Copies of this chain bind each other. A is one copy, B any other.
Amino acid sequence: MNAPYFNQKQPIKFKKGKSKGLAFRHYDADRKVLGKRMEDQLRFAACYWHSFCWPGTDPFGGETFLRPWQTAETMENAHLKADAAFEMFELLDVPFFTFHDRDIAPEGETLAESNKNVREIGEVFARKMEKAKVRLLWGTANLFSNRRYMGGGATNPDPDVFAYAAAQVKNVLELTHDLKGENYVLWGGREGYETLLNTDIKRELDQLGRFLTMVVEHKHKIGFKGTILIEPKPKEPTKHQYDFDVASIYGMLQAFDLQDQVKINIEQNHAILAGHTFEHELALASAVGILGSIDINRGDYQLGWDTDQFAMNIPEMALACYYIFKEGGLGTGGFNFDAKLRRQSIDPDDLLEAHVGSMDACARGLLIAEKMINDGVLADFVAERYAGWDTREGKAILAGKRSLDDLSKSVLKKGLDPQPKSGKQEHLERLLNDYI
């Protein structure tokens, strides 16, 4: 039997003001925000891999955490790990968790054995979820760590690898369904290339389309009601990944005719690696109707890899929450902590500190967004700025009732010379700061 892993023994509570022990200062699960309990708006999920699997390595350094279950890849350790994970879920009182198949159980000699291992821990989960009142936000298959996937899963030049990946997804998708997961995620970290010299983009896109379609077909076949999500990331581990960003995936979904079947799981760190702000990706996905869920973390704008730090930046969280909640929130999605400790944070309770700090930062973001949405000052400014498009002529243009000829005639006839209006960016930034 597993002794408790954390030094913290009591679930962490919301306490206003400064307090001695670890407490939430802003995240108050039951507080109503924008019409729902804060917990039901943010739908926090703790993740398995960064918090319980990653051992603290980096490309130049070995393990630093030395957690008790990290001595070997055994089923016994998998059970210890599950104990510690649920210990943390309960201490944090998060409503959800997320996992990859290879996070929860060691790979076996054969896929059959691997699947069995995953299913065995799946049963442990079912019991623990019941007891701890923790739900599954999403499951996913790891199609990137094993060397068989070094050249891709769905986009592998070898159809046998494609088949293997498909078989692995089937197992986790069904487990996710059985555990009443609310979504299923695909991350294509090997679906790209290291060098164009050995790559056929056209073939790989066809393979990717077929793979994704099969997943959607299987979802319907088994009656899974959750959302299928793709998580964009432009690069790392490979030189180039097809799921580059929201706009790229939107193009592929249309080409695969899946734009109504698949949504997007947006991560801050992946957004910035693609050269976008987090809020850009959120707003764009909203605008084209494919915003699904988010991976909440924080990249370093000056480092070119996925640092996956715990999100702590309050103005950033405020903006993200504004763009998420002004459109009504995430539906089946949630705020998943795809975030990892710095490898020097080797005390067990550093994990708790990090989550608490970031949950508080998100809560502050949500509360700021609530005020911005309720006041409506920013939204009104924007609506006013585009008001010309709500006139009869504006609508006629958009409705396709005006041609180049029409507009040209009109401009020439009226001698139109439209004058620019101030964009008021600094004014808006100042306004925004008033909320922070």
Contact = CB atoms under 8 A, between A and B. Distances in A.
Given A158-B388, A218-B404, A342-B423, A275 B277 contact: no
Among all A-B residue pairs, the 6 with the closest Cβ atoms: A304-B304, A251-B251, A357-B430, A344-B423, A301-B301, A354-B426
A420 B167 contact: no
Given A60-B189, A418-B164, A436 B314 contact: yes
A276 interface: yes
A427 interface: yes
Interface string A211-254: 00111011001000000000000111101100011011011101
A159 B394 contact: yes
Interface in A365-419: 378, 381-383, 385-386, 388-389, 391, 393-394, 397-398, 400, 402-405, 407-408, 410-412, 415-419
Given A169-B404, A251-B254, A353-B430, 11 more contacts: A58-B59, A59-B306, A111-B412, A157-B421, A159-B389, A164-B417, A239-B302, A247-B251, A255-B288, A304-B304, A344-B423
A196 B418 contact: no
A361 B429 CA distance: 10
Given A150-B343, A200-B386, A360-B430, A195 B425 contact: yes
A314 B315 CA distance: 8
B342 A411 contact: no
Contacts of A115: 412
Interface in A250-299: 250-252, 254-255, 272, 274-277, 279-280, 283-284, 286-288
Can you tell how many copies of this chain the complex includes?
A: 4
Contact of A344 (B151, B189, B353): B151
Contacts of A194: 342, 344, 423, 425
Given A110-B417, A345-B423, A275 B234 contact: yes
A55 B282 CA distance: 34
Interface in A183-207: 189-190, 194-203, 205-207
Contact of A411 (B164, B218, B346): B164
Contact of A433 (B18, B312, B385): B312
Interface string A305-342: 11000101111000100010000000000000000011
A148 B419 contact: yes
Interface hub of A164, A198, A310, A346 (most chain B Cβ within 10 A): A198
A25 to B, nearest CB: 7
B300 A239 contact: yes
Interface residues of A, number: 157
Interface hub of A66, A169, A306, A344 (most chain B Cβ within 10 A): A344
B382 A421 contact: no
A350 B426 CA distance: 7
A64 B150 contact: yes
Interface string A88-123: 000000000000000000000011100100000000
Nearest to A60: B237
A161 interface: yes
Interface stretch (A38-46, A128-136, A139-147): A139-147
A181 interface: no
Contact of A420 (B150, B353, B404): B150
A429 B288 CA distance: 35
